[in-house]
Amino acid sequence: MPEIKYEIIKKIGVLSKSASGWAKELNLISWNERDAKYDLRDWSADREKMGKGVTLSREELLTLKELLNSIEL
């Protein structure tokens, strides 16, 4: 399996943390030296491991923002 390269360009925020130290974060990340995208996933405390996540373009993130703003809580 080929190595996955990533660079966290901007840390945006932490949504939650578990007792084990893992954190669900939203970041702007460049994967395999490509253009940076918004990325939502779990990270271990030492950033050695990551969980499955969702990667979104700027346009997709703006659409998601509109959808979330339309929800009545």
Residue ranges covered by each domain of the chain: 6-69
Give the pLDDT of the chain (73 residues) as one tens digit per residue: 788 899 999 999 999 999 999 999 999 999 999 999 999 999 999 988 999 999 999 999 999 999 999 999 8
The CATH number of 6-69 is: 2.30.31.70
Segment 6-13 long-range contacts (CB within 8 Å, at least 24 positions apart)? 6/30, 6/31, 6/32, 7/33, 9/36, 10/36, 12/38
Distance CA 41, CA 53 (A): 4
DSSP 16: E
